[in-house]
């Protein structure tokens, strides 16, 4: 017997939420045993990660409550970025992500989302693809300059370009995807996949190379679950964008 889509969505959502919770708890217990473990930061990071995973699961299912839980996650993650010395992403979260949680809430309300109603998703045409490609290119150029001046270090003549480019790429992808999310475009999930994949790489590098960075295991696990959730969201939003009126105004 083939499982219907609604039942699959419930099981998948439970898998993401329960799996993330278990992984975060186990990671915290393991990391707290290490000498010099930053317990407070680790616990705060874990709580933010759980709020974040609830937010992205709600987002994948078209629920407007994603912005409520997302705001908590953004506030906590901003502090983690500050502590990890990732300035361009910190600027992104404080100056952009926080206000966009309120803007997204308002925009989704305009597109029919409510406490019990899912948002009316839509898809981009060729003109919208070109517009967002231009936005991506412009933002990436600006983010690369900001990241270079803020984070680049010279050590025996070597410039750390890889970290600078990766930092700018994540910043740009986040900005572009969040605009698409606020406008309820299905194609946002392709960009979120890029965000999640590059974030996994970034936090894995941080965990492997930065002393006392045990807390990085939490965002590493979080973005791994985000990646799985985002891939499932593509399927859900294809369905959402194929049903209901396309409210352009």
Quick one: pLDDT at residue 132? Answer: 92
Quick one: pLDDT at residue 69? Answer: 93
Most confident of 59-63, 91-95, 242-246: 59-63
* pLDDT for residue 219 is more than 80: no
Q: pLDDT per residue over 157-173, tens digit each?
A: 445 666 677 778 877 88
Locate 176 and state its tokens.
């572009």
Angle at 136 between CA 132 and CA 140, to 5 degrees: 170
Where residue 221 falls among pLDDT bands split at 50, 70, 90? confident
Model pTM above 0.85: no
Q: pLDDT per residue over 5-24, tens digit each?
A: 778 888 999 998 898 888 77
* pLDDT for residue 44 is more than 70: yes
Average pLDDT, integer, range 119-142? 90
Locate 236 and state its tokens.
């859900």
Q: Can you tell me whether residue 23 is helix, strand or coil? A: helix
* pLDDT for residue 107 is more than 80: yes
Where residue 1 falls among pLDDT bands split at 50, 70, 90? very low
Spatial separation of the C-alpha atoms in residues 199 and 220, rounded to whole Å: 8
Q: Can you tell me whether residue 221 is helix, strand or coil? A: helix
Locate 200 and state its tokens.
């996994």
Q: Per-domain residue ranges for the chain?
A: 5-241
Quick one: pLDDT at residue 101? Answer: 92
Quick one: pLDDT at residue 88? Answer: 63
């Amino acid at each position: 017997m083939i499982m219907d889509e609604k039942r699959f969505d419930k099981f998948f959502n439970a898998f993401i939420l329960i799996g993330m919770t278990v992984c975060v708890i186990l990671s915290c217990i393991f990391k707290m045993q290490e000498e010099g473990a930053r317990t407070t930061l680790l616990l705060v990071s874990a709580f933010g990660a759980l709020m974040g995973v609830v937010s992205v699961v709600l987002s994948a299912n078209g629920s407007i409550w994603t912005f409520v839980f997302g705001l908590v996650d953004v506030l906590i993650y901003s502090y983690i970025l500050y502590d990890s010395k990732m300035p361009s992403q910190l600027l992104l979260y404080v100056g952009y992500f926080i206000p966009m949680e309120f803007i997204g809430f308002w925009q989704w309300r305009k597109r029919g989302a409510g406490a019990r109603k899912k948002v009316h998703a839509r898809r981009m045409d060729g003109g919208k693809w070109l517009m967002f490609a231009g936005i991506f290119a412009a933002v990436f150029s600006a983010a690369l300059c900001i990241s270079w001046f803020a984070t680049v270090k010279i050590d025996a003549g070597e410039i750390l370009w890889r970290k600078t480019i990766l930092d700018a790429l994540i910043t740009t992808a986040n900005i572009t995807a969040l605009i698409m999310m606020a406008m309820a475009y299905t194609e946002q999930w392709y960009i979120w996949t890029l965000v999640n994949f590059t974030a996994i790489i970034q936090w894995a590098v941080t965990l492997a190379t930065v002393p006392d960075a045990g807390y990085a295991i939490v965002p590493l696990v979080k973005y791994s679950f985000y990646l799985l959730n985002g891939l499932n969201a593509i399927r859900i939003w294809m369905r959402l964008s194929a049903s209901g009126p396309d409210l352009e105004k």
